[in-house]
Amino acid sequence: MYHVLCCFRSSWARACVDATRIEAHPSAMKELRTEIAIAASPEAVWAILTNFVAFPQWNPFIKEASGEQKVGGKLRIHIVPPGGKGMVFKPTLLAFETNRELRWLGRLGVPGLFDGEHCFTLEPIEGGQTRLRQCEVFTGVLVPLFARSLDDGTKKGFEAMNLALKARAEKKAVST
């Protein structure tokens, strides 16, 4: 039995992912990270990121999102990775810190089977810009079976979403 604790307090986020106890080899964990600089304020990026109703208009990865935007709230997320099949899951919101962090935990079945803790963090950078970091830590006994599709599809989905969010935020910044 292994106890997995991943902290990205330094350059990634103040969030700590505790996968509790998983009965598997340490390879039963996979982390995906992406980041992008956006020429818009954290407030502008946050407004787009948390406007779930508008996701179908611009988001190529998370096609639909809804739910209670508060810690402990239940969400409904419909993702479609590039070249992959769509899926709907119902994560619990772990962090909702205005203009800084949005984080949820989703599970496939029982805890420890296939869990994903997804995090968006916003950091102000020079020139009134924002660094968006999107990451997810997957844990559970099924992770080794899905590792390749996570690299091939899910990470590409993160990158596509980042680019689309950047385009939307920068377009709004120019028009105001």
How many domains does one find in the chain? Answer: 1
The residues facing 172 across adjacent strands are: none
The model's pLDDT over 16-34, given as tens digits with 9 standing for 90+, comes to 344 344 344 556 899 999 9
Whether 98 is in a domain gets the answer yes
pLDDT tens profile 34-79: 999 999 999 999 999 999 999 999 999 999 999 999 999 999 999 9
Residue 108: inside a domain: yes
Residue 81 lies in a domain: yes
Answer whether residue 4 is part of any domain. Answer: no
Q: Has residue 22 been placed in a domain?
A: no
With respect to residue 43, please indicate whether it lies within any of the assigned structural domains. Answer: yes
Provide the residue range defining the domain that includes 113.
28-175
Is residue 119 within 8 Å of 127, Cβ to Cβ? no
CATH of the domain at 86: 3.30.530.20
Residue 153 DSSP code: I
Specify if 103 maps to a domain: yes
Percent of the chain's residues with pLDDT above 70: 84
Is residue 13 included in any domain, yes or no? no
Over the chain, what is the mean pLDDT? 86
Long-range contacts of 5-12 (CB under 8 A, 24+ apart): 6/31, 6/137, 8/135, 12/121, 12/133, 12/135
